[in-house]
Amino acid sequence: MSPIRIAIVGLGKIARDQHLPAIAGNDAFTLAATVSPRGTPLEGVPNFRSLEELLQSDTPVDAVALCTPPQVRYDLAALALSKGVHTFLEKPPGATLAEVAVLSDQADASGASLFASWHSRYAAGVAPAKAWLAGRKIKSAKIIWREDVRVWHPGQDWIWESDGLGVFDPGINALSIATHILPRPFFLKGATLTIPENRQAPIAADLSFTDTNGAPIHMDLDWRQTGPQSWDIIVETDAGALKLAKGGAVLTLPDGSDEVHKDEEYPGLYARFAQLVKDGRSDVDIAPLRLVADAFLRGKREATEAFVE
């Protein structure tokens, strides 16, 4: 089978850090083009200033990876799918739940594959954690996602807009893991969103969930953490505590066994996308975005001091 000719749309931080190496490392793909409205193009790869321009050109593409901020994702995906182009969505898959549902229906009707990717689910400790937790009784869980926004999101004004998710931009990664590994569905009971007085999106959030068996799940998100960063999930079970650290890369089981693996997230995502295209299927799981939407629906707002970069 000839490789899937893919274009990267949005040549920003994640495209350069992760998508380019993952595409280069997977024989199922060849990088056919990039779309970057203002960025510096890559040498030797045709670059277009918009997706419309690319799709009207004589550079053929079978697939696109949309690596833009979420606010523009729907228009780009709808355009790609309307041309029968397979579409990989960076997380979060859209700015609203309804637009993602529309895209999912559009993909089904068009026959093109739509992949709503959740990169953290491909972190090395996640699959073994899910397997270990299956069938266990969950007593409680704690999610601690604390990082320094100045280090990880420098100059990203879009992230502070009302639909930029704020601290839920990383927090949704934790929720993508939790919704994948916990054996029962869970839902929001209460939340407090802490919003800088000069911004539209939260810099911190405190959330309480419960699973369908009544097990409490607490989530602590904060973008003001300097020094060591925390991306931990701890699950208390009838067989002891499981800990996933470093965003899912390191799994510690109750017997103390520690597993550290190499970074497998984006190679895993592209292997999955290639399989979906081959099988003519889509994969659109909105569970993490639904929980975030519920936090905005139910959460109390409290103002905090202005955030200046």
If binding is defined by CB under 6 A, does position 70 make contact with ligand NAP? yes
If binding is defined by CB under 6 A, does position 35 make contact with ligand NAP? yes
How far is the C-alpha of 15 from the C-alpha of 24, rounded, in Å? Answer: 12
Q: How far is the CB of 151 from ligand NAP (least distance, A)?
A: 10
Q: Out of 91, 246, 278, 300, which one is annotated catalytic?
A: 91
If binding is defined by CB under 6 A, does position 10 make contact with ligand NAP? yes
If binding is defined by CB under 6 A, does position 79 make contact with ligand NAP? no
How far is the C-alpha of 196 from the C-alpha of 164, rounded, in Å? Answer: 14
Which residue(s) pair with 241 in the sheet? 236
Q: Are 168 and 135 in contact (CB under 8 A)?
A: no
How far is the C-alpha of 1 from the C-alpha of 287, rounded, in Å? Answer: 34
How far is the C-alpha of 109 from the C-alpha of 24, rounded, in Å? Answer: 31
In this complex, which beta carbon is closest to ligand NAP, that of residue 108 or of residue 163?
163
- Each residue of 182-219: b (16+ CB within 10 Å) or e? bbeebebeebebbbbeebebbbbbbbebbbeeebbbeb
Q: How far is the CB of 68 from ligand NAP (least distance, A)?
A: 4
Which segment (5-13, 122-130, 189-197, 211-219) binds ligand NAP by CB under 6 A?
A: 5-13
Q: Are 165 and 201 in contact (CB under 8 A)?
A: yes
Which segment (30-38, 218-226, 268-276, 291-299) binds ligand NAP by CB under 6 A?
A: 30-38
In this complex, which beta carbon is closest to ligand NAP, that of residue 52 or of residue 258?
52
In this complex, which beta carbon is closest to ligand NAP, that of residue 167 or of residue 242?
167
Considering only residues 65, 67, 100, 112, which one is a binding residue for ligand NAP as defined by CB under 6 A?
Answer: 67
How far is the C-alpha of 161 from the C-alpha of 309, rounded, in Å? Answer: 15
Q: How far is the CB of 265 from ligand NAP (least distance, A)?
A: 9
How far is the C-alpha of 254 from the C-alpha of 242, rounded, in Å? Answer: 6
If binding is defined by CB under 6 A, does position 53 make contact with ligand NAP? no
How far are the Cα atoms of 21, 62, 212, 247, 269 from residue 187, in angstroms, in the given order? 36, 38, 8, 21, 26
Residue 139 is among the residues annotated as catalytic for this protein: no
**Contacting ligand NAP within 215-274 (CB under 6 A):** none
Which segment (11-19, 189-197, 281-289, 294-302) binds ligand NAP by CB under 6 A?
A: 11-19
Catalytic residues: 91
Residues that bind ligand NAP (CB under 6 A): 9-15, 35-39, 67-70, 72, 90-91, 119, 156, 169
